[in-house]
Structure 1
C-alpha cells in the first residue's frame, strides 16, 4: 500500500512538473527562511542561560533624579558591593567588573605588541561567581592581588603558543608588568559580556574609592542565596541609600536626604536579572551593546508570516489542482476504491510533497547558513536543527502542512458520486474558488504589511545616514592611542599640520560617535544649594570644535589668546535649556572639589554655546554636554582635504614612526565609527528586507502558479471569446481582474495594520523619519504592480493562444 502511495505521488509530480516545481520550491524557500530565523531567535533567547544558578544572578543598577534630570545606569559605586554583602545575609556573593578599553600588551621575551580590545578589570572571585572554567591556574587566587592578569585560551595561545602561560609576564604599555596567573576558556558567544583579558581590580586606585555619590564606573553583580527574593531585597535598598548616601547628599548638596527627596530628587538601587540583560537592557554603562527583544518578536512574526505564506501557496495550488483529479476519483470509485483509501492517498501525496520540501529546505540551510552568519554577525550552527526536540517540532510541521494541504482534496473530492463526475456535471468552482480567494487575500495581506515594513525601515536607515548630525563626519581620520608618543605627542601633531592635505587636528578623550560619557554633578552659579544637574563632561583642546565643524551659536570657542580659558567651558543648547539660562554667556556653573572635607567649589565660566550635535545613537535624545579645556591623550583626529586619502595615511604613518619608533600605528574614520554606532539597526534592517523580499517572492510564486492554472481551466472560455471577437487586452483584463480585486481587499486590511505596527517600531527612535500615508499607498501600488507582472505572462500567453487548439475537441 505504501509503495502504491509513493508511485502515484511521483507519477503526479512528473505529470504536472510545472505546478510541482512551484509547489515544492515555494514551500522549501519558506521553510528555509523559517528555519534560519528560528536559529537566530533561539540564539538570541539563549544568552546567559548557560550560567549556573542564572535565576539567582542580578545586576545592581543605579537610578536617580537630580535637579529634574533623570538617569538610569547599569553602573554602581565602588563601596556598594561590600556594603551589601555585609548588611544583607540573603546575598551569597558579589563581583565587580570595570571596562578598561583597549590596551597594548607586550608578552615576555617578544618584540610584537598586541592591541587588545576586550579587557576587563574584575574582582578575584569572578571565576567562581560565573563558573568560568580555568585551563591553567587556581580560580581562588588568580586575581587576588594587584598586577595579576588572566588570559583566555585564544589570547594565551597567541602570546605563548603551546607553552604554559601561567608564570610568565606581560607588559601593559603605560601601566607596568603583570604576572599571568590563569588561562580561562573563551567565553561563549551567547553571553552578555566578553573578555579576552582579565585584570585584577586591585591594580587600579579606583577600587579603593569610598564615595557612594560619584565614581559610578563599576558593573556589580549579586548572587542571591537559594530561596531569597529579589523583590524583598530591593525593597530594603532605600534604607541602604539613606544610610550611606544621606551624609554625602548633605555634604555635596547642603540638604538632608529628606529635603532632597521632597524637592523631587531620587537616588536608588535596583536589581536587574542577568538572564534579561541581553534583550531588554539598554542603559548607560552596558559592558557591550545588547540586542532588543523587539527584534526577537519582529523576526518571530516574520518567520511565522513566511511559513504561513509558503503553506498557503502549497494549499492553494493543491486545492486548485485537485479539480483536475475529480475524474480520477470517479474512475477509482468505479473500480472499487473505497472513500477511506482515497482519503489516505491524497493525504499521503501531500505529506510526501511536504517532506520533500522540508528536506530541500534543510539542504538550503546548510548552504546558506555561513552567509547568514556573516550578515547577522552570529555563530549559528546547523547542529541546532538536528536536536531531538527540534526534529520532533519539524516532523509536527511536516504533518500539519501536509494534512492542511491534502485535507480539501482528501475529504471533499473523495465524497463525489462517480456518475456525476464522469458525466462532467460536477461544479467545483464556487467552493474551491472561495477557499483560494480567502488564501490569496490572507497571504497578500501579510505581504503588503511586510512591504510597508521594508519601505519604512529603509527610510529610517536612510534618515540615519543622511541626518544632519551637527558636526561633519566626512574626511576625519582618527589616530588611536596617541599616548604611546608620550612627550612627542604635541610635536607629532604640529608636524602633521605642516602637511597641506591636513586642514586641522585635535587631541581629545572623547569622540562624537562612540557614545562615551563622563557624567558629573554640576550646580548653577557658585552656591551648592542651587539646582544641580547631571552633565556629560568632555576634555578637549582649542581645535576640537573647528576640526569637527561644530557650529558656535553664541559666544566663542576656546582660544590660545585667552589664558583664562583654562577655567572656561563651552556648552551645548541642551545644557542651556536644562539649566534654564536665558543668556548663558558669562554665567558660571560649579562642582564640588576633590578636597577631603568636600567644602571646596570649582567654578567654570560659560564662554560659548554650541549647536546641539548627536554624539550617541539616534535612539537617544541629545543630553546636556559641556567641554572644558584640558590636556588629554585619548585620540588625535585630523581633518583631511581632498580625496587622496591613501597618500595622507602613508604620510601620517611615516610621521608617526618618526616620533614614536617601534610603536604600533592604527587609525580609522569617523564615518566608520558612526556606522558602528548604528550597526545593529543597519544589520537588522538589511536582514528584514531580505526576508520580506523573499516573502513577497513566495507569494508571487504562488500567484504565478494560480494564474497559470486559472488560464488552463478557462482555456475553452478564452477560445470562445476570441472566436466571438474579444481582443488580447480584454482577455488579459478578464483573467487579471479576479486577482486584482483580491489584492485590493488585501490592501484595505493590511494598510491600518501596517501603519500601527511600523509606527510602534519607529517609536524606539528619538529621531525618526515621518510615517506617511503615501508610503502605505505606494506599498499597495507596488504589491499590485508586482502581482500584475507576475500574472501578465500567463494571461498574455493564454490570450494569445490559437482558439482552434482549445475548441477542436468540441
Structure 2
C-alpha cells in the first residue's frame, strides 16, 4: 500500500509542477534558514559545557554601590578564593584569574618581540579545576613557581617547537624572564577561555597575596559539592561582607559600624553565576570574554520558527486552494471503495515526499551558504553530516514537518462527499477560504513584524554612528604598546607629531572607546567619611589629550606643560559635578585624594571641567571621570590630517622601526574600534535583513501561488467581464483587492506588536532612538507594495487573456 501511495504521490506532484515547485522551494528556503540558525543557537548554548562537572562550577559576581556609583562586576577581591575554601564546607575547589590584556615577549637569545593577546595570571589549580590536560609538562608542579607560564599550542609554536617548549625561557617587555612550565592544547572557541593563550603563575603576582577587600580585580570560580544548592551557597555570602569586608573597611574608616554603612545606602552584594550561563546571561564589568545576549538567541529562535511555519503555511494554503482540482479524484476514489484513512495516508505521503525533497535542497543550500553565514556570525560552523544524532534529529523533524504541513489538507480533502463533488454541486464547499485567509494574514503579520524590527535595529545603529559622542574619533590612529619603548616614548611622539600629515598626538593608557577599566574611590580634602566617597574613573594622560580629541573645557583651564604643579592637577567631567551636587565655580580649586591611608595622602587639585563624552557603550550612562597627568602611557593616539593614510602609516612605521626594531608595529583606527563595540548589534541587524527578506520571499511564494489559483478559478468570470466591457485595470483591481484586504489586516495586527517588542529591545540602551510613526508607515507601505507586486502579475496576466479562450475553458 505504501509503495502504491508513493507512485500516486509522484504522479500527482508531476501533474502540477508549478505548485510542486512553489511548495518545495518555499520549504527548502525555510528549512535551510532554520538549519543555519539552529546550528548557530546550538553553538551559543554549548558555551563552557565541555568542562567536566560544569554544572557544579560558578563564578563569583559583585554588585557594589559606593561613592555615588553602582557597579556590577564579574570580579571580586583577591582573598575571596581562600576564604571560600576555608570557611564554606560546600566549596570543593576554587581558582582565580587576573587578566592583563596582551603581552610582548621574545625567546631568550632573540631580538624580535611577539605580541600575544589573551594574557592572564592564573592559579596553578585552574588546569585541574577545568579538566584541562597538559600536552607537555608536569601537572603536579605547573604554575606553582613564580615567573613560570603555560602556553597554548598555537602560542608556543610562535617561539619554538612545541615538544621542546617546556624549560625554555621567555623575556617579557618588562625585562622579566619567565620559564615555560607547560603547554596545553588550544582552548575551545566556545568557552570563556577561548581567546586566552598565555597563563602566568599567580605566585609571582604580589597583588594576589594582599588581603585587600576593597579592590575587585579577580575572576574567581568555585566548584560546589554535588549535593550543594546554589541558593544555599548564595544565602551564605553576606557572611563574607560582615566578617571580612567590613572588618577591612573599618581599618580605613575607623569607627564605622555596619549600621552606618547600611544607613548610608551603600552596599556590597556577592552572588554566584553558573559557568554555563556566563556567555548569554552576563554583561558585567571585568568579563573575561565578549558575551552574547540570551535576547538575541530568543529573537533568532523566533525567526527560525517563523521561517519554517511560513513555509508550512504555504503548503497548507496551496493544497487547500487546489482542492477543487482534487475533489473529483477524491469522489472517484471513495466511490471505488477508498475510506477516509486511506485517503489521508495518500495525501500525507505526498506531503512527506515534498518534505524530504525540501530537506535535500535545504542541506545543499545550507552547505553553499555556510561560508557566508560564518563570516556574518563570526563562527566556524559546519553541517555535521557525519553525526548520527544530527541525521536522527533532522529526519524526525522532517517527518513532523511533513505531517504538520500535510495534516490539514489531508483531513480537509478526505472529507469531501463523493455525491456532491461528482455532481458538481460541492464546489462552494471545498474552497477552505476562511482558513486560507487566516494563514495569509498570519504570514504577512510575521513579515511586517520583521520589517519593523529590521528598521528599528538599523535606525539604532545609525543613531549610534551619527550621535555626537563629545569627542572626535575620525582620523585618529592608535599606536599600541608604546610603553615598551621606555625612555624613547617621548621621542617617538615628537618625531611622529613633526610629520606634516599629523596635526596632534597624545600619550595615554585610556581612550574614549570601551575597554577594561575600573573606578577609584576619591575623598575631598578634610573628609574621610565613607558616605562622602566619590567613585570615579581616573585616566593617565598627557598635556595634549584634550586638544587631540577636541574635548571642550567648560570651566577652568587645560593642563599646561609650563606649570609644574599640574603634575598633581585634575580635570573632571560634568557627571562628576552632578554626583558632587556642586556648581562649576565651587569645584575649581578643590582637592581630592584616592589614597585612603592617612599618612600618605596624594591630593589632586581640580583645575578644569570638561564636557561629558561617551567613553563606554551607549548602553551605559556617562559616569564620573577624571584626567590626570600620567607617567606610564600605554598607547599613542595620532590625529591625522585628511591625506593619504597608507603613506602616513608607512612613515610612522619607519619611525617605529628606527626606534624599536625589536617590537612589532601594531595599530588600529579609533572609529573602527568604536564600531567593534557594536559588532553584536551589527550582526543582529544583518541577520534581521537576511531572514526578513527570506520570510517575505516565502510569504510571497504562497501569495503568488494563491493569486495564480484564484485567477484560474475565476477564468470564466474574467471572460464574461471582458466581453461586457471591463478594462484590464478594473479586472486586475477586482482580482487583487481581496488579497490586499488580508495584507491590510496583517499590518494592523503586526504594527502594534512590532512597536511594543522593539521598544523592549531598545530599553537595553541608555541612549536610543524613539520609534517614530514613519517607521511603522514604511513597514506598512513595504508590505502592501510587496503584496501588490506579487499579486498584480497574475492579475494582469489573467486580465489580458483572450476572453474567447477564457469562456471555452468551461
SS in 2 for 1:382: coil
Inter-partner Cα distance in structure 1 for 2:545 and 2:253: 33
**2:799 aligned residue:** 799
SS in 2 for 1:160: coil
Question: CA offset at residue 389 of structure 1?
Answer: 4.6
Q: Does 1:376 align with 2:377?
A: yes
**2:303 aligned residue:** 302
Residues 181-211 of structure 1: CA distance to partner in whole angstroms, max 9, x if unpaired?
A: 1111211111123321111112222222222
- Shift in CA distance, 591/418, structure 1 to aligned 2, threshold 3 Å: same
SS in 2 for 1:135: strand
**2:706 aligned residue:** 706
Q: Are the counterparts in 2 of residues 566 and 628 from structure 1 also a CA contact under 8 Å?
A: yes
Question: CA offset at residue 483 of structure 1?
Answer: 1.8
Matches within 5 A, 1:774-793: 774-793=774-793
Matches within 5 A, 1:669-688: 669-688=669-688
Q: Are the counterparts in 2 of residues 740 and 784 from structure 1 also a CA contact under 8 Å?
A: yes
**2:751 aligned residue:** 751
Q: Does 1:590 align with 2:628?
A: no
**2:27 aligned residue:** 27
Inter-partner Cα distance in structure 1 for 2:425 and 2:42: 53
Question: CA offset at residue 53 of structure 1?
Answer: 1.7
Matches within 5 A, 1:709-788: 709-788=709-788
- Shift in CA distance, 675/755, structure 1 to aligned 2, threshold 3 Å: same
Residues 72-103 of structure 1: CA distance to partner in whole angstroms, max 9, x if unpaired?
A: 21111112211222222222111110112111
SS in 2 for 1:779: helix
- Shift in CA distance, 182/314, structure 1 to aligned 2, threshold 3 Å: same
Inter-partner Cα distance in structure 2 for 1:183 and 1:683: 35
Inter-partner Cα distance in structure 2 for 1:627 and 1:690: 44
Q: Which moved more, 1:65-74 or 1:742-751?
A: 65-74
Matches within 5 A, 1:14-53: 14-53=14-53
Number of aligned residues: 806
**1:350 aligned residue:** 351
**1:578 aligned residue:** 579
SS in 1 for 2:435: helix
Residues 746-781 of structure 1: CA distance to partner in whole angstroms, max 9, x if unpaired?
A: 111112111111111011111111112321222111
Q: Which moved more, 1:423-432 or 1:85-94?
A: 423-432
**Which sections of structure 2, spanning at least 5 residues, go unmatched?**
none
Matches within 5 A, 1:239-254: 239-254=239-254
- Shift in CA distance, 744/699, structure 1 to aligned 2, threshold 3 Å: same
**1:153 aligned residue:** 153
Inter-partner Cα distance in structure 2 for 1:415 and 1:641: 78
Question: CA offset at residue 574 of structure 1?
Answer: 0.8
Matches within 5 A, 1:625-636: 625-636=625-636
**1:256 aligned residue:** 257
Q: Are the counterparts in 1 of residues 324 and 431 from structure 2 also a CA contact under 8 Å?
A: no
Q: Are the counterparts in 2 of residues 723 and 803 from structure 1 also a CA contact under 8 Å?
A: yes
SS in 1 for 2:3: helix
Inter-partner Cα distance in structure 2 for 1:592 and 1:515: 22
Question: CA offset at residue 576 of structure 1?
Answer: 0.9
Q: Which moved more, 1:197-206 or 1:524-533?
A: 524-533
Question: CA offset at residue 417 of structure 1?
Answer: 3.8
Q: CA-atom RMSD, angstroms?
A: 1.9
SS in 1 for 2:220: strand
- Shift in CA distance, 259/652, structure 1 to aligned 2, threshold 3 Å: same
Question: CA offset at residue 644 of structure 1?
Answer: 1.1
SS in 1 for 2:470: coil
Residues 556-581 of structure 1: CA distance to partner in whole angstroms, max 9, x if unpaired?
A: 21111322111111111111111112
User: Scaled by the length of structure 1, what TM-score is found?
Assistant: 0.96
**2:361 aligned residue:** 360
Q: Which moved more, 1:472-481 or 1:521-530?
A: 521-530
**1:664 aligned residue:** 664
Inter-partner Cα distance in structure 2 for 1:682 and 1:306: 21
**1:412 aligned residue:** 412
Residues 152-206 of structure 1: CA distance to partner in whole angstroms, max 9, x if unpaired?
A: 1222233323543212222222242211111112111111233211111122222
Inter-partner Cα distance in structure 1 for 2:66 and 2:338: 83
**Which sections of structure 1, spanning at least 5 residues, go unmatched?**
none
SS in 2 for 1:749: helix
**2:208 aligned residue:** 207
Q: Which moved more, 1:753-762 or 1:12-21?
A: 12-21
- Shift in CA distance, 55/334, structure 1 to aligned 2, threshold 3 Å: closer
- Shift in CA distance, 661/387, structure 1 to aligned 2, threshold 3 Å: closer
Matches within 5 A, 1:381-530: 381-383=382-384, 387-428=387-428, 431-529=431-529
Question: CA offset at residue 457 of structure 1?
Answer: 0.6
**2:557 aligned residue:** 556
Question: CA offset at residue 270 of structure 1?
Answer: 2.0
Residues 648-687 of structure 1: CA distance to partner in whole angstroms, max 9, x if unpaired?
A: 1011011112222332211110011101111111112211
Inter-partner Cα distance in structure 2 for 1:430 and 1:14: 23
Inter-partner Cα distance in structure 1 for 2:35 and 2:755: 28
Residues 398-455 of structure 1: CA distance to partner in whole angstroms, max 9, x if unpaired?
A: 2333233333443333343434323322224675111110110111111111111011
Question: CA offset at residue 526 of structure 1?
Answer: 3.2
Inter-partner Cα distance in structure 2 for 1:589 and 1:394: 68
Question: CA offset at residue 277 of structure 1?
Answer: 0.9
SS in 1 for 2:662: coil
**1:189 aligned residue:** 189
- Shift in CA distance, 456/651, structure 1 to aligned 2, threshold 3 Å: same
Inter-partner Cα distance in structure 2 for 1:408 and 1:231: 48
Q: Are the counterparts in 1 of residues 509 and 632 from structure 2 also a CA contact under 8 Å?
A: yes
Residues 715-768 of structure 1: CA distance to partner in whole angstroms, max 9, x if unpaired?
A: 111111101100111111101111001011111111211111111101111111
Matches within 5 A, 1:609-624: 609-624=609-624
SS in 2 for 1:76: coil
Inter-partner Cα distance in structure 2 for 1:488 and 1:558: 23
Q: Does 1:7 align with 2:7?
A: yes
SS in 1 for 2:61: strand
Question: CA offset at residue 293 of structure 1?
Answer: 0.8
Question: CA offset at residue 323 of structure 1?
Answer: 1.9
Question: CA offset at residue 633 of structure 1?
Answer: 2.4
Inter-partner Cα distance in structure 2 for 1:639 and 1:752: 47
Residues 628-656 of structure 1: CA distance to partner in whole angstroms, max 9, x if unpaired?
A: 11122210011001131111101101111
Residues 86-125 of structure 1: CA distance to partner in whole angstroms, max 9, x if unpaired?
A: 2222221111101121111212455543211111110011
Inter-partner Cα distance in structure 2 for 1:343 and 1:519: 69
Inter-partner Cα distance in structure 2 for 1:14 and 1:233: 65
**2:118 aligned residue:** 118
Inter-partner Cα distance in structure 2 for 1:232 and 1:337: 65
Question: CA offset at residue 129 of structure 1?
Answer: 0.7
Question: CA offset at residue 809 of structure 1?
Answer: 4.7
**2:327 aligned residue:** 326
**2:569 aligned residue:** 568
- Shift in CA distance, 412/758, structure 1 to aligned 2, threshold 3 Å: same
Question: CA offset at residue 386 of structure 1?
Answer: 6.1
User: Scaled by the length of structure 2, what TM-score is found?
Assistant: 0.96
**2:547 aligned residue:** 546
- Shift in CA distance, 206/732, structure 1 to aligned 2, threshold 3 Å: same
Question: CA offset at residue 534 of structure 1?
Answer: 1.4
Question: CA offset at residue 462 of structure 1?
Answer: 0.9
SS in 2 for 1:78: coil
Inter-partner Cα distance in structure 1 for 2:30 and 2:439: 16
Q: Are the counterparts in 2 of residues 125 and 139 from structure 1 also a CA contact under 8 Å?
A: no
Question: CA offset at residue 328 of structure 1?
Answer: 2.1
